[in-house]
A and B are shown apart, each in its own frame.
Chain A
Amino acid sequence: GQNIDQPTEMTATEGAIVQINCTYQTSGFNGLFWYQQHAGEAPTFLSYNVLDGLEEKGRFSSFLSRSKGYSYLLLKELQMKDSASYLCAVADSNYQLIWGAGTKLIIKP
């Protein structure tokens, strides 16, 4: 079957760095997406990885290892507004997105 695993909840301190991991097992792979979702709001696109390596976009970076079925989202210089759920999704062989349950990130002052 297809499966996306990510931690349910993480806590970090304002100004610090946090890494949110995602492991996946899917029928085919056509890229991995990270989305941010604030409580009561819609998911918004953060990053896309289809090749191995690190993609950097401001304070956020995303890493992919296809051989290990593994990705992480790295958030630097954490701000209170980064408190949200972070969703990992993989495009399978049919380009349908398989979604993880999301990681709720709590930022403390």
Chain B
Amino acid sequence: IAGITQAPTSQILAAGRRMTLRCTQDMRHNAMYWYRQDLGLGLRLIHYSNTAGTTGKGEVPDGYSVSRANTDDFPLTLASAVPSQTSVYFCASSDSGERGPQHFGDGTRLSIL
């Protein structure tokens, strides 16, 4: 079934550790996004990529990095995790460049202790 796959589903991580959240899509969408979702707040954009080989910063990029080596994969890395990065992370992709509706993965629930 076509869609977006995120891994891991959930993770508990010690502060200071490095962590990479994986995101893979098989819909050949050009644009991909990483959001975090916290209780009482709207989805906040961390980083995005309009096409393979390019990335951009969103609203809350500090402490996170991304790469887009190919169309399908868009990993998100926390270089040195801090407790404030405890959140649910969603990866999304869209067709028609940045103008189509976004399709979301199932999310990664990350707890930083």
Residues of A within 8 A of B (CB): 4, 30-31, 33, 41-45, 48, 87, 89, 91, 95-102
Residue of A whose beta carbon sits closest to that of B44 = A99
Partner of B101, one of A4, A45, A101, A102: A45
CB-CB under 8 A from B20, the residues of chain A are: none
- Are A42 and B41 CB-contacts (below 8 A) given A33-B101, A96-B48? no
Residue of B whose beta carbon sits closest to that of A31 = B99
Inter-chain CA distance A45–B93, complex, in Å, is 12
Most chain A beta-carbon neighbours within 10 Å: one of B35, B58, B102, B106: B102
Give the B interface residue count (CB, 8 A): 20
CB-CB under 8 A from B106, the residues of chain A are: 41-42
Inter-chain CA distance A107–B98, complex, in Å, is 34
CB-CB under 8 A from B101, the residues of chain A are: 33, 45, 48
Query: In whole Å, how far is B9's beta carbon from the nearest beta carbon of chain A?
Result: 11
Within 8 A of A (CB), among B7-25: none
What 9 A-B pairs are tightest by C-beta distance, nearest first?
A: A99-B42, A42-B104, A95-B98, A45-B101, A99-B43, A101-B42, A43-B104, A100-B42, A42-B106
Partner of A87, one of B43, B45, B58: B43
Q: Does B61 contact A (CB under 8 A)?
A: no
Decide if A43 touches B43 in the complex (CB within 8 Å).
yes
Inter-chain CA distance A33–B102, complex, in Å, is 10
Q: Does B40 contact A (CB under 8 A)?
A: yes
Decide if A101 touches B104 in the complex (CB within 8 Å).
no
Q: Does B105 contact A (CB under 8 A)?
A: yes
Interface string of B70-104 (1 = CB under 8 A from A): 00000000000000000000100000011101111
CB-CB under 8 A from A99, the residues of chain B are: 35, 42-44
Query: In whole Å, how far is B5's beta carbon from the nearest beta carbon of chain A?
Result: 12
CB-CB under 8 A from B105, the residues of chain A are: 42
Decide if B102 touches A45 in the complex (CB within 8 Å).
yes
Query: In whole Å, how far is B90's beta carbon from the nearest beta carbon of chain A?
Result: 6
